[in-house]
Amino acid sequence: MARILAIDFGTKRTGIAVTDALQIIASGLTTVETKELLQFLKNYIKQESVELFLVGEPKQMDNSASQSEVYIAAFITKLEKEIPNIPIKRVDERFTSKMAFQTMIDSGLKKNQRKNKSLVDEISATLILQSYLYSK
């Protein structure tokens, strides 16, 4: 089996998580500068087999698209063009940043460590991926 890769897209940096080859466990992979995201993904799929990209879909409480959806849609268009052989699914990502922060607290990270926004993005991507795995 190939891996599933989740993307918590941000305008500055993007969190990435990936499953194991059996698609059982979701793990944080890294956080990359968004301007380098497409190249990172191209390099990653040269080394690992990926069957699906999951991209977080931020929504407002009334289920309408968030303001960042414009940037995410533009990224998805580029991703489909650059890597057309891997399908893309969207996953509701409401509350993942808050859940990621709470996860950091629960795991005992110190206040200075919790200020690391890159870590929050990576954990958010992991939560997106984990929620998808649970729903399968």
Instruction: Report the 10 Å Cβ neighbour count for 45.
Output: 17
Q: List, for residues 37-85, the tens digit of each pLDDT value.
A: 999 999 999 999 999 999 988 766 666 666 788 999 999 999 999 999 9
Q: Are 19 and 130 in contact (CB under 8 A)?
A: no
Tracing tokens 């893309």 back to the chain, one arrives at 88
Compute φ and ψ for 20, nearest 5 degrees.
-75, 175
Please state the separation of Cα 119 from the chain's center in Å.
12
Residue type, 37: L
- CA distances 125 to 1, 40, 92, 106, Å, are 21, 15, 11, 18
Question: Between β-strands 13-19 and 3-8, what pairing exists: parallel, antiparallel or unpaired?
Answer: antiparallel
Domain count, the chain: 1
d(CA 45, CA 40) in angstroms, rounded, equals: 9
- CATH code at 106? 3.30.420.140
- First-to-last alpha carbon distance for the chain, in angstroms, is 15
Q: In the chain, how many H helices and how many E strands?
A: 5, 5
The structure's pTM equals 0.84
Rounded percentage of the chain residues whose pLDDT exceeds 90: 57
Best mean pLDDT range from 81-85, 89-93, 128-132:
81-85
Residue-range definition of the domain harbouring residue 94: 3-135
